[in-house]
Structure 1
Amino acid sequence: MMRLFPSLSALLLMFWPGFLLAQSPFENGWQLDQTASNITYMSIKKGHVAETNSFATVNGQISEDGTAVLTIALDSVDTKVDLRNVRMRFLFFETFLHPQAIVTTHLDAEVLSDLASLRRKEITLPFSLSLHGVKAELSAPVIVSLLSNDRINVATVKPIPILMKDFGFEPGRVKLEEAAGVTITPLAIVSLNLTFDRTTPGSAPALADPVVTASTAMETEGNFDRTACVGRFEILSRTGSINFAPAAAKLEASSTAMLDTLYDVVSRCPDLVIEIGGHTDSFGKAGPNLRLSERRANAVSEYLQGKGIPAERMNVAGYGETKPLVPNNTAQNRAKNRRIEFSVVN
């Protein structure tokens, strides 16, 4: 006898939208819900003190073919302490050179074809991480959860360990240790909890405008108070990113990004006069070193004047080899002593 009514499963197949009936589970693409997503990392200092920080601004999308791109604004690192944020930006992440971290991966539609029935599935996800000028191929187990036909969540099953040396962060770690006076374990542990919404049918997924929350550390506008200015100049003095040709006062092109960051800080401390101090190592004679240090400090002042900072807001001083940070007994130490320092005069 012919069956007059379809089975319950057939009815579900007829009316279940999106993931089950669409040609692809990524139909129309998916956009990251920034307010419902977070990326955190944990670091260890003093051998046993764990600190968990996050990033306030993250963008992401999944295209119709399953290609996923996640862009993390490293300037938005959020430690809940202003000057700690600044240290992380300038000394560790060097965001004036590497402003973003980018994660790319491909989600396999076939692997996720049963997500509509399972609702939650663990998969091992290979991905590329571009961070601090280094690109690495990694993988991690993640849980993909179908919250609704138009909303999914992707979360790490366990934190992802990132060795600092693999991404060139060892010099930055040392700078942080010296600035904060603590030891830092050369390992970070990263966790992701990402929620995506299906893009409006018929429109292609695109990166959304960054959501800037109250906790963001990006400082897109506004002047700093005196305490913030003093702290920033002290931190900028530690970057070691203003470089000159050997035995000369010609700024190297690699210094431009740092100098532009310096200009931004100086321009946002409009009531303060700063000192630009030049320092050398002890190689060579004291007299020429003194003159070289002053010429180098002048080169920085001239660059800032070219950007619009009035000359009367800057005092230039050359100290030569008279104020070493460390003994001039190794090439590494001599490099530390060759520096430009900034401080507030009044």
Structure 2
Amino acid sequence: MFYQKGENKFGGVLVMVRNFMQVKRVECSLPNVCVVDVKSEEEIRIVGVYASESRSWNWQQISPLLSENCVIYGDFNVDLEQDGSKAVGLLNWADSYFLAPFTPDNPTSLRSNRVIDYAFSNSAKIDIQTYKGNTTSDHYPILSVLSTKIKETVKGQTVHWKVFNLVTEYTFYFWEKYWSLNNLDMTYNDYVQFLRLLSARCTIFFPLSKYRVAIPAELRSFLSYVRALSFRQMRTKNIELKNHVRAFDMLWHEGCIGKLRQMGIPLAYTEWIKAWLENRRGYIEINGEKSRWFNIEKGGPQGGILTPTVFISYHADMPDFLSWCTSHFFADDLAAILAGQIGIKYSKQCLDLEKKLKLFVDQLEYYCLLT
């Protein structure tokens, strides 16, 4: 956040920047003028201006602050179409430094039908428009998009989890009382927003080349605390999936060989795999006592890489049956990611997730019957 003091109690310019962006402030002694350099692949200089009628400086004094890739945003107090000589003077100065004006289509002043908030740029094209929502100012806010390339790998981030945990401990009794006295959905939304803002406040950014990413113990402890608080309010439990059957031991030989042939694997290879899977026998030994020999009609030999490879090839078409969710398959373990709707009440989110989980289980059961 960068601030430049104004010339009266209502003046001043504030420039706020996202944490992950590299920004350097440029020295400027002019009141109501704030200048920053954004460090992207092409450095961009952004100048924030509030040009009041009673300002003590003129446009020529801003000229030394301009660069080859520069954008000027602000309240210029000049309508380029209606203000005659004032507009001509501003445009002549802009033309001398190859600055093109970019104005919104609608008026920006609530007091008159004038466009006095806009931008100048000597490089890229700017998209700019007025915001028609609520405002406490006598101007409509303007929204602008400036295209540039930011090096995403320049910065990493970490969270001060000890500070995060300390704040949550201080606010524990407040939230405990808040959960009990207020609407469950509203409280859930407020609590999620509180955690999001707190984590953003405790986050710092740093060059990735100097740090190694790690998952701190404080995070695991805090997740346990959140789950405990959630269970006390009778929230929906997490779902735990367990592996009750060894999938390798349940491999269907005939179905596997048939699918491998459909995939175009040469006959010689499929016959060799068939001979490797079939005609196997085994026995069970307990305390030195051996059972009789019995035939093994399913599964594959353990301890090598061929059985997992055959198993994965056999189930390679599983994502086609689960195409509406994100699935990850490793050996005989399956993980599926399902996302609920956003922007709705927590209770409706739970119902939506229940429907999606039921659909997932039904489709997985259907696939298992086919294979």
- TM over 0.5, yes or no? no
**TM score, norm. by length of structure 2:** 0.21
Write 1 or 2 for the structure with the bigger share of helix. Answer: 2
Write 1 or 2 for the structure with the bigger share of strand. Answer: 1
The structure whose Rg is larger is 2
Which structure has more relative contact order (CA 8 Å, sep 6+)? It is: 1
